[in-house]
């Protein structure tokens, strides 16, 4: 396992700037999650580290070694792709053994058998080892492709939305599994997702990308509680943070503030300005309130057993809200 | 009565479809069957009218195909009793077998040239198709069009220049010359077909292999090739069929050493009268390799014909 450092890395595809001046340090043993919408440069960042793309500028170091000119094989990284990664003409066992049989690792067959069995156990697929890769269900396939990364002991594991194609139950199971693997192997992971639960539950660090730039890097709590911009604030939180112009509540906005950011926990419902209940969504463990407040839509949470109904009026007030300037930068 | 289903054809429509397919197959197989049967007829039966469907089979055609014979005097025939069954067959015409015919040699030439050019077309075609599919090649579209454009005229249109060129290069009537020529004709088909197949193989497989510690060529060899096997097989059949059946260039460019079977078979007609059974025997044997090759790879061939029509 090793530390990975990107310094000033940029990458453009024709006219599209995919990654811009990226400075990112993945500490040894960290579980770093990259968050961002489609097109933010998350996958490109992974591919740059893996060596599948060549950076236009900047350097990439893995374990203190500049790998900019090395081939993917030489970089000693393992990667889990979003899809399509099992070799369809091989059995599950051969898929798992494939990295170990590479000319770089050239593992002895008895060692391969041992490692494959071990990984199969972890991923609950020992009974599937002799199946052809194409005979597996989607969930099993993805577990095998995670397994193909886990049989190795690389400098860093790169994972590109590995759970996105799985159903909710399997996703929850594998989240726990990955977290356990991270803890047990003391592995370094760089993990791309746009799923906030994955980010919040697994990450030791979260990096938020916006149009190829790293806009904030910190622990999941820091990113959630102390976002540097409205953009970062909008990446985490369900329902999303509500952004309203300042002054609607007659609050004391700090100098330069143009927007007030209200997460559900920032909205007190025991007095304040009147808001109209437009819709009530009962989700079981929580209830979402869609409010109409001075021509703005506001979404917040309330008690699951609320008796509020559409058409009623409640009073809301901000409680320790976040303030952003006109460009979305955090003011207070 | 079973319920109507939109996707599952009814028993009746299956029956109709089956009958149509079998009828069509029978009609197309009649000439083939006729040639195969004629190979086992006597020369008289072969040209009898009305044509004979039931006849006494003989290997005369095959004996004539593989041997050269001379007519001998009665004295000679009496002094030399027939040595084997083939000898006995030709004795009825007062002939003796004096040696093998050129057919074996010509057939062997066809095998070398047909399979040689198929192998070369597939080898070069796969590499080129992979490069076009995966790498950024300057002017790739123009190059691909150029490769395709070699197929836009009948190959025989360039027969004279090729004839002169081959004479100067010393490639006339050589195996190498014919292999190169058929490869040149087939390569455009091979590149285009194989590019389609390789395009369908997601890049992620190779990228995964690169990260798993393999070089680009190893990834190609271990991951892309096995998955392109279907495409390679069907492309190989198309290439082989062309090279195997090609007649015009073979007539023009080969004679003594590298002549293939197609220009040779018609020459049988001239040897000792219209020997149709021998011609039919030659055609039958000539058919076999492609038939066997096609039957062995038929699953892949079907996929090749419907290529592009079915998404995985």
Domain boundaries, chain B: 59-101, 104-305
Task: Tell me if B214 and A79 make a contact (CB, 8 A cut-off).
Answer: no
- Stretch A165-189: mean pLDDT: 84
C-alpha distances out from residue A27 to A62, A77, A221, A230, Å: 10, 15, 18, 27
Name the residue facing A102 among B202, B214, B227 (closest C-beta): B214
Domain boundary among A234, A253, A269: A234
At B308, is the pLDDT very low, low, confident or very high (cuts 50, 70, 90)? very low
Residues of B in contact with A78 (CB under 8 A): 211-212
Statement to judge: residues A196 and A277 lie in one domain: no
Task: Tell me if B208 and A79 make a contact (CB, 8 A cut-off).
Answer: yes
Statement to judge: residues A287 and A152 lie in one domain: no
Residues of B in contact with A85 (CB under 8 A): 204-205, 208
Return the residue of A nearest to B227 by Cα.
A89
- Stretch B254-279: mean pLDDT: 84
The 10s digit of each residue's pLDDT in A248-273 is 877 777 878 888 888 888 888 887 88
Statement to judge: residues A212 and A306 lie in one domain: no
Task: Tell me if A81 and B208 make a contact (CB, 8 A cut-off).
Answer: yes
Domain of A73 in residue numbering reads as 4-234
Mean of the per-residue pLDDT values of chain B: 87
Residue identified by tokens 């075609």 is B125
**Residue whose C-alpha is closest to residue A133's, from A84, A200, A191:** A84
**Can you tell me the ipTM of this complex?**
0.80
Task: Tell me if A81 and B204 make a contact (CB, 8 A cut-off).
Answer: yes
Cis peptide upstream of residue A19 (ω within 30 degrees of 0) = no
Residue B310 has pLDDT above 70, yes or no: no
- The number of domains in chain A is 2
Could you tell me the fold of the domain covering B104-305?
MetI-like fold (1.10.3720)
The 10s digit of each residue's pLDDT in A190-214 is 999 888 888 888 899 999 998 888 9
φ, ψ for residue B110, nearest 5 deg: -60, -40
CA distance B18 to chain A (A): 32
**H or E stretch at B108:** helix B103-134
φ, ψ for residue A141, nearest 5 deg: -60, -45
Least-confidence region, from A125-129, A156-160, B220-224:
A125-129
Residues of A in contact with B215 (CB under 8 A): 71, 73, 103
Domain boundary among A211, A234, A257: A234
Statement to judge: residues A258 and A295 lie in one domain: yes
Statement to judge: residues A150 and A65 lie in one domain: yes
Task: Tell me if B207 and A88 make a contact (CB, 8 A cut-off).
Answer: no
Task: Tell me if A81 and B214 make a contact (CB, 8 A cut-off).
Answer: no
Mean of the per-residue pLDDT values of chain A: 87
Vertex B210: Cα angle to B205 and B214 (nearest 5): 115
Q: In what order do the strands lie in the sheet with A156-160?
A: A77-80, A156-160, A189-193, A31-35, A205-210, A213-218
Statement to judge: residues A228 and A270 lie in one domain: no
Residue A254 forms part of a structural domain: yes
What percentage of chain A reaches a pLDDT higher than 70? Answer: 99
Q: Which residues of A touch B (CB under 8 A)?
A: 50-52, 71-73, 77-79, 81, 83-85, 87-89, 98-99, 102-105, 145, 148
Task: Tell me if A103 and B215 make a contact (CB, 8 A cut-off).
Answer: yes
Residue B176: predicted pLDDT: 95
pTM of the predicted model as reported, rounded to 2 decimal places: 0.78
**Residue whose C-alpha is closest to residue A87's, from B96, B223, B88, B257:** B223
CATH number of the domain residue A155 falls in = 3.40.50.300
Cis peptide upstream of residue B4 (ω within 30 degrees of 0) = no
Statement to judge: residues A264 and A299 lie in one domain: yes
Statement to judge: residues A225 and A101 lie in one domain: yes
CA distance B216 to chain A (A): 10
Domain boundary among A182, A217, A234: A234
CATH number of the domain residue A281 falls in = 2.40.50.140
CA distance B231 to chain A (A): 14
Residue A329 forms part of a structural domain: no
Residue B181: predicted pLDDT: 94
Task: Tell me if B212 and A98 make a contact (CB, 8 A cut-off).
Answer: yes
The 10s digit of each residue's pLDDT in A96-155 is 999 998 888 888 888 898 889 888 888 888 888 888 888 888 778 888 888 888 888 888
Statement to judge: residues A159 and A270 lie in one domain: no
Statement to judge: residues A263 and A137 lie in one domain: no
Statement to judge: residues A246 and A223 lie in one domain: no
Statement to judge: residues A217 and A246 lie in one domain: no
């Amino acid at each position: 396992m090793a530390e990975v450092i990107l310094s000033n890395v940029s990458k453009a595809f024709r006219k599209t700037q995919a990654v811009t001046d990226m400075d990112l340090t993945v500490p040894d043993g960290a579980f770093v999650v990259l968050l961002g919408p489609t097109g933010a440069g998350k996958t490109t960042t992974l591919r740059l580290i893996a060596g599948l793309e060549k950076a236009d500028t900047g350097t990439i170091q893995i374990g203190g070694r500049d790998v900019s000119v090395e081939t993917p094989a030489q970089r000693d990284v393992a990667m889990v792709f979003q899809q399509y990664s099992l070799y369809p003409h091989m059995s599950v066992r051969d898929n798992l053994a494939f990295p170990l049989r590479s000319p770089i690792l050239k593992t002895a067959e008895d060692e391969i058998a041992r490692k494959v069995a071990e990984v199969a156990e972890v991923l609950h697929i020992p009974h599937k080892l002799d199946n052809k890769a194409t005979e597996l269900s989607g969930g099993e396939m993805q577990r095998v492709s995670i397994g193909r990364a886990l049989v190795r002991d690389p400098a860093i594991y790169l994972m590109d939305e590995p759970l996105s194609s799985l159903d909710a139950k399997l996703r929850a199971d594998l989240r726990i599994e990955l977290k356990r693997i991270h803890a047990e192997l003391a592995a370094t992971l760089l993990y791309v997702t746009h799923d906030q639960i994955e980010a919040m539950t697994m990450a030791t660090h979260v990096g938020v990308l916006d149009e190829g730039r790293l806009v904030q890097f910190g622990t999941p709590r820091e990113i959630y509680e102390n976002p540097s911009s409205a953009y970062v604030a909008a990446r985490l939180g369900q329902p999303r943070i509500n952004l309203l112009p300042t002054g609607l509540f007659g609050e004391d906005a700090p100098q330069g503030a143009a927007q007030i950011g209200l997460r559900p926990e920032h909205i007190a419902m025991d007095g304040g300005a009147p808001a109209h209940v437009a819709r009530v969504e009962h989700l079981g463990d929580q209830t979402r309130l869609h409010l109409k407040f001075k021509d703005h839509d506001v979404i917040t949470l309330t008690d699951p057993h609320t008796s509020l109904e559409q058409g009623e009026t409640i009073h809301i007030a901000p409680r320790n809200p976040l303030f952003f300037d006109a460009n979305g930068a955090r003011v207070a | 009565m079973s319920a109507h289903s939109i996707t599952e054809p009814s028993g009746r429509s299956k029956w109709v479809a089956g009958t149509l397919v079998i009828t069509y197959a029978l009609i197309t197989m009649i000439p083939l069957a006729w040639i195969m049967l004629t190979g086992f007829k006597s020369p008289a039966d072969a040209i009898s009218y009305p044509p004979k469907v039931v006849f006494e089979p003989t290997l005369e055609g095959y004996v004539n195909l593989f041997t050269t014979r001379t007519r001998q005097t009665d004295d000679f025939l009496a002094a030399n009793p027939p040595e084997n069954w083939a000898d006995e067959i030709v004795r009825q015409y007062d002939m003796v077998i004096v040696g093998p015919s050129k057919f074996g040699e010509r057939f062997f030439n066809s095998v070398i040239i047909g399979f040689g050019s198929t192998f070369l077309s597939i080898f070069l075609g796969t590499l080129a198709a992979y490069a076009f599919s995966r790498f950024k090649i300057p002017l790739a579209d123009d190059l691909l069009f150029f490769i395709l454009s070699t197929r836009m005229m009948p190959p025989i249109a360039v027969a004279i220049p090729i004839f002169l060129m081959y004479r100067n290069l010393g490639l006339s009537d050589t195996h190498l010359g014919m292999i190169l020529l058929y490869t040149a004709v087939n390569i455009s088909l091979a590149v285009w077909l194989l590019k389609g197949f390789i395009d369908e193989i997601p890049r992620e497989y190779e990228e995964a292999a690169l990260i798993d510690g393999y070089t680009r060529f190893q990834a190609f060899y271990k991951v892309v090739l096995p998955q392109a096997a279907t495409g390679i097989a069907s492309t190989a059949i198309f290439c082989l069929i062309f090279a195997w059946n090609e007649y015009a260039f073979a007539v023009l460019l080969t004679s003594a050493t590298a002549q293939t079977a197609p220009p040779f078979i018609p020459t049988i007609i001239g040897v000792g009268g219209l020997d149709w059974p021998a011609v039919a025997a030659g055609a039958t044997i000539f058919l076999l390799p492609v038939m066997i090759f096609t039957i062995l790879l038929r699953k892949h061939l079907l996929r090749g014909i419907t290529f592009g029509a079915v998404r995985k």
